[in-house]
Chain A
């Protein structure tokens, strides 16, 4: 048995284990209890009819007295699900050893288990390794792997004043997004699939339909998948035929179906002329992650490169940010210097070029010393990299906006990502995805893309067909006026002048 890369996962909390857990945490009421009891019945699977969801994550064991009852209660659900083509993955608590429970899980018909226990990977039941995000063991990631401690995407509630989003240091509202982490995972575990585990925030009322669609988009657009997780209010309201709940559910499924219908995009590569090099582990993890996050928020498109690779692929790059605490190896040093000699820019916290070169200064606002080497430059920070925000700002300016691949006007709560068949935006198919992190539609957003293109194929959730969006020349690129943007749109480009 193997994990199925096409699984579309959803949390399916139910049964005695779910009730016991909620009792223990004191977060149970009659509605919650009723839902947990109802969702263990096969009839609950009706909810999934005509949806792309084909893999349910069920609580299998907690190491407590309810485990046996839970596994008994799940049997009819698992049997009914299998007949419908639904796979089940059993979830184990973080500290629990899985090996003892695997035989029962296999016998019951589970397709895989999710657990932190490394030994599960050697059992004959496929395991989906789970890690807290800041402790991800990239080298031990399974084909499908899962992280916890992710953020619910959207406007950062701590920077809200009522309905008004307060600006961050960038002048644009702060948003929560898992985008950077998905991009990092793609680079550090190539070929594997990241499932993001995060739950909706507790709310007094049903969440806005856009909130769930955004959770889907913020994952898929960057190459990962969200383990769909419904909040208590929604789960309770759905079986009651609540029309608002139904609309939320339909929007969520519509978003998932959209991405499942464009699976080829999942193989697209992040585009950028800037590479960020680090091992992104240990002492490098915080700075690396924050810089990726902040560069992404500035709409800077980048490629992530793992430092441990002795010969990073530098083709198509104009700049490299060496973010790792360690200096490059001799081999890497030679490759980087050759890159600079050819005209590239390397940004670093320390200088490791020819000591005979005397530095210059470009602009008083940039606290960097510039070493001209060959046709290129090494920009060395006058002080060590400390503030990730400043590193992101300085990097963007040192590379120059002249090299932007995309830009948004009236961006407010939106952000975008450029990917394609090639790491170069000028070869093959190109895709720019735009996300809105507010529950209010984003109006009058204009997307600027580098290159000259006549038009783009414009796609949105819920629209079966793409429609053509005409571009407007805005040298040296092209502008596209986007219609009011609820959550997400994608623009596909194809041509030789991208």
Chain B
């Protein structure tokens, strides 16, 4: 099944570099040069059996999953934002703002086939510590569809301590743009490979939400929530992530402190992209997969004004989250090199630029090898849809 413009050796080399960076990332100056990356783009008009085939082809274009996941524990951060009963009109969440279960199932299946020893599905459902399976059931999903797709599939709600005995601390190389480090559920440490499985969407605060912004949701609201205690994490999550968004208060003191400028700006358009860049720097993404078959334009969820359903018919995957999100941004009709004041970053800083400055990856399309469908022929303009 290997197609391609990219050899398996090259692919594995890139993967190894990414995984190693997590463990022993050296101190790097900002705005340093970043390695070239590969991103696969697949067209897939509808959900169905073709999703698995398309993703399989894309993963092969990237060099195959086996070298990355064989014998490994793979953690997949899903994008299930908002509550489980909110819909855009009558449309189920997976048709608009949640990654679709068929994309999840196909990814799990392909990871399993590639030899992943254990696959863990993770998400931090809004303001609840209920089991992730129950959250899915509320959306009328069947968790067994995922657990039957590969040999060992587990679920964990990461919005609180969960099955861990303590929170795992992730320091941001370079010291961080907003916080020096972040305390996360153990699941983000107890894995060999980290996958961000996201939706192709605009975002009211951050311009776009793709594989990087998806990682905003790794933070537990027991510490970073509106209702988290001053000193220590709460047992259950309370509220949204106001401390990140508006800086109206600090996270619990048990977590790493903010950097100095984090205290000055109350602008969510300044704060949120920096938190996201921090997070993907501290907890690197090894594989980014983005569901853009059906989605919504105008915002990240049905709670946003002037949002509408769109059908870009796209799947995107890459081994570098900045490069993958840059390609997605271009596919959405935007310039990934754009910054504050220019669409889609009219009122915010570009997470792509910030992450690039932290050395996570490149947003420069000239340095990204796009495999599969070319951007020009797959582009779906979100603002004109």
Interface residues in chain A, defined as those with a beta carbon under 8 Å from any beta carbon in chain B: 171, 363-366, 393, 397, 400-402, 404, 407-411, 444, 446, 448, 474-477, 479, 481
Contact with A along B128-163 (1 / 0, CB 8 A): 111100100110101000000000000001001111
How many residue pairs bridge A and B at CB < 8 Å? 55
Residue of B nearest to A167 (CB): B127
Chain B residue, CB-CB nearest to A394: B130
Residues of A within 8 A of B236 (CB): 365
Identify which of B13-21, B79-87, B353-361 touches chain A: B79-87
A447 CB to closest chain B CB (Å) equals 11
Interface check B126, CB cutoff 8 A: yes
- Minimum CB–CB distance from B129 to chain A (whole Å) comes to 4
A365 touches B157 (CB 8 A): yes
- Contact status of A401 and B161, CB under 8 A, knowing A365-B131, A410-B87, A481-B90: no
* Closest residue on chain B to residue A367 by CB atoms: B235
Chain A, residue nearest B144 (CB): A402
B contact residues around A475 at 8 Å (CB): 142
Known contacts A365-B236, A410-B85, A474-B140: A171-B163 contact under CB 8 Å: no
Q: How many residues of B contact A (CB 8 A)?
A: 25
Q: Beyond the given A365-B129, A444-B89, A481-B90, could you list 6 further A-B residue pairs with CB under 8 A, ordered by the A residue number?
A: A171-B127, A365-B131, A393-B130, A397-B130, A446-B90, A474-B140
List of B residues within 8 angstroms of A476 by Cβ: 142
Whether the pair A364, B87 counts as a contact (CB closer than 8 A) is no
Q: Which 6 residue pairs are nearest across A and B when measured between Cβ atoms?
A: A365-B129, A401-B137, A481-B90, A363-B131, A409-B85, A444-B89
Q: Which residue of B lies closest to A411 (CB)?
A: B85
By beta carbon, the residue of chain A nearest B85 is A409
Query: How far, in angstroms, from A171 to B236 measured CA to CA in the complex?
Result: 14
5 contacts between A and B (CB under 8 A): A364-B163, A365-B130, A397-B134, A444-B87, A474-B140
User: Chain A residues with Cβ under 8 A from B140's Cβ?
Assistant: 407, 448, 474, 477, 479
Most A C-beta atoms less than 10 A away, residue of B140, B157, B160, B162:
B140
Residue of B nearest to A171 (CB): B83
Provided the pairs A365-B157, A448-B140 are in contact, do residues A407 and B87 lie with their beta carbons within 8 angstroms? no
Chain B residues contacting A474 (CB-CB under 8 Å) are 92, 140
* Chain B residues touching A, majority SS: loop
Q: Closest chain B residue to A480 by CB distance? A: B90
- What residues of B have a CB within 8 angstroms of the CB of A363 in the complex? 131
Task: Report yes or no: B129 in contact with A409, Cβ–Cβ below 8 A.
Answer: no
A444 lies within 8 A of B90 (CB)? yes
Chain B residues within an 8 Å CB radius of A404: 137
* Most chain A C-beta atoms within 10 Å of own C-beta, residue among B85, B89, B157: B85
Contacts of A444 on B, CB cut-off 8 Å? 87, 89-90
Contact partners of B129 in chain A: CB under 8 A = 364-365
Closest to A479 in B: B140
What distance in Å separates the Cβ of B67 from its nearest Cβ neighbour in chain A? Answer: 34
Residues 89-104 of B contacting A (Cβ, < 8 Å): 89-90, 92
Tell me which of A364, A366, A476 has the highest count of chain B C-beta atoms within 10 A of its own C-beta. Answer: A364
A393 to B131, CA, bound (A): 12
Cβ distance A167 to chain B, nearest Cβ, rounded Å: 9
Known contacts A365-B160, A402-B137, A475-B142; is-contact A397 B131 (Cβ 8 Å): yes
| A410–B161 alpha-carbon span in the complex (Å) | 29
Q: From A477, which residue of chain B is reached at the shortest CB distance?
A: B140
Interface centre among B90, B126, B130 (most CB of A within 10 A): B90
Task: Determine the chain A residues whose CB is within 8 A of the CB of B130 once the complex forms.
Answer: 365, 393, 397
Give Cα A404–Cα B84 distance, bound, in whole angstroms. Answer: 14
Choose among B85, B128, B157 the residue that contacts A407 (Cβ–Cβ < 8 A): B85
For B225-241 the 0/1 string (1 means CB < 8 A from A) is 00000000000100000
